[in-house]
Chains A and B, each alone.
Chain A
Amino acid sequence: MSVKHEERDTAPLHPSSQSDIDDLEILINSPPYPSSVLPAQPPPPPPTIPISTTTSSPPLLKSTPPTKSTVPSNSSRVVGGGGGGFGSAPNTLTEPVWDTVKRDLSRIVSNLKLVVFPNPFREDPGKALRDWDLWGPFFFIVFLGLTLSWSASVRKSEVFAVAFALLATGAIILTLNVSLLGGHIIFFQSLSLLGYCLFPITLGAIICMLKDSIIIKIVVVCVTLAWSAWAAYPFISTAVSPRRKALALYPVFLMYVSVGFLIIAID
């Protein structure tokens, strides 16, 4: 169990916010499990332990096959908690490397879809991006820094370093902000979400780099800003209680706007 989470749980809340908490709990608990519309989410790797007599793993069992039969209960032993009712899900600890690559790629694609086609009226937006990964944030931050430094005429490296530091620390501070507001969001989940929501802005930056007209730039940045904010809105607003929604959303929007200004004003 992460330390951050415990901190968040014990974060002192004002007594008057109890109603908020109740509302939030109702909000969280109300959707029963089957109603979740997890969009094309691959099931998490099931934490089952393989029976050691399995022969499905060429890399692991290159040595002599075991002659001893193992205890049958070994197969159902689960490390680190329950498997979440996945039954006899395929074991992923001995899978070929290619399967791991494919699973991670499909996860990135599904996470990206959530942001590219945002749907604030999704039934359970809080559950989205549950399968977080940090590839998206990493790539988008680096791409954004690259496009900014390319479009900058002087001191390209400083621009890149400043853009990277701004975006990375910005994402971390925003995440801290959400969790300090008593939000039900995990640090990495939020980091992943904020990073994926940079995707439209990155697109906008690339378009701005190619076009020189200032009017087109402003229009493109405004559109992509709205797109990014629209994508980030459902996640952040369900993470915190309704009364503090604005407090959590405002800094996010502020960071995106400042990035937009950076894109317009870079040359």
Chain B
Amino acid sequence: MDLNNNQQPVGENYSHPEICFFHVLFKAASLAFYILSALFFNNFVIIFVVTVLLAALDFWVVKNVSGRILVGLRWWNEIDDNGESVWRFECLDQESMARMNKKDSWLFWWTLYLTAILWIFLGIFSLIRFQADYCLVVGVCLTLSIANIIGFTRCHKDAKKQLQQFAAQTFAGQVSSRISSAFSVV
């Protein structure tokens, strides 16, 4: 399989700039609002609502939009007919995955982890300053951010495993079909 033939050269640009923009926008906006609002006005309610709303929007965008468009992965939880909770991990097929823009996925993963790290730092700061209410804000944002990290990391592992399994299956299938065809010829 010459999957990497029509790959983007290293210097190529993002293939989904608008999705990348929104992927970064809400993360940056929630962080920036949280940091800057303390300087300009000191109204906890507004800070809380706007920051958490932006973080929730970011959670939704990453989970439902940018995840599947930038890296071709998606995770969600559903409840099956027996009332059991099932975690579903979806990925594109091998060929589409290989065609994913490298820059897109690089941006996706780095901003995903960087946001959580920044929130952890902000949480440590608010702990040092004994601001329990601001810890609440950071806690909510950090929870949302980490939920996406866990979801997508597991999804990524699952996708790799599926690809390996699929490769093994197709190989075995080809071999068996060849053997059977050989037998049918005989």
Tell me the A residues contacting B by CB distance below 8 Å. 1-2, 4-5, 28, 33, 44-45, 47, 49-52, 59-60, 62-64, 66, 68, 70-71, 73-74, 77, 79-81, 84, 93-94, 97, 100, 104, 126-127, 130-132, 135, 138, 142, 145-146, 149, 156-158, 160-161, 164-165, 184-189
Contact = CB atoms under 8 A, between A and B. Distances in A.
Contact of A59 (B19, B43, B76): B19
B133 A62 contact: no
A186 B85 contact: yes
A71 B77 contact: no
A79 B44 contact: no
A81 B93 contact: no
A72 B127 CA distance: 56
A76 to B, nearest CB: 11
Given A79-B162, A97-B65, A158-B133, A142 B52 contact: yes
B90 A80 contact: yes
Contacts of A84: 80-81
Nearest to A28: B83
Interface stretch (B31-39, B66-74, B107-115, B116-124): B66-74
A149 B45 contact: yes
Best-surrounded residue of B1, B158, B162, B173 (most CB of chain A within 10 A): B162
A77 B173 CA distance: 14
Interface residues of B, number: 52
Interface string B83-108: 11111111111111001000000000
A93 B83 contact: no
A49 B64 contact: no
Given A63-B15, A79-B158, 10 more contacts: A1-B85, A63-B6, A70-B93, A79-B88, A79-B159, A93-B72, A93-B90, A100-B64, A127-B83, A156-B45
Nearest to A82: B80
B92 to A, nearest CB: 6
Nearest to A104: B64
B79 A157 contact: no
29 contacts: A2-B77, A2-B87, A5-B85, A47-B90, A51-B93, A52-B95, A59-B16, A63-B6, A63-B15, A63-B99, A66-B99, A70-B95, A79-B89, A79-B162, A80-B86, A80-B87, A81-B86, A104-B60, A126-B83, A142-B49, A142-B53, A146-B49, A161-B48, A161-B132, A164-B48, A186-B77, A186-B79, A187-B85, A188-B77
Contact of A184 (B78, B83, B92, B133): B83
Nearest to B99: A63
Nearest to A161: B133
B99 A50 contact: no
Best-surrounded residue of A5, A158, A164, A189 (most CB of chain B within 10 A): A164
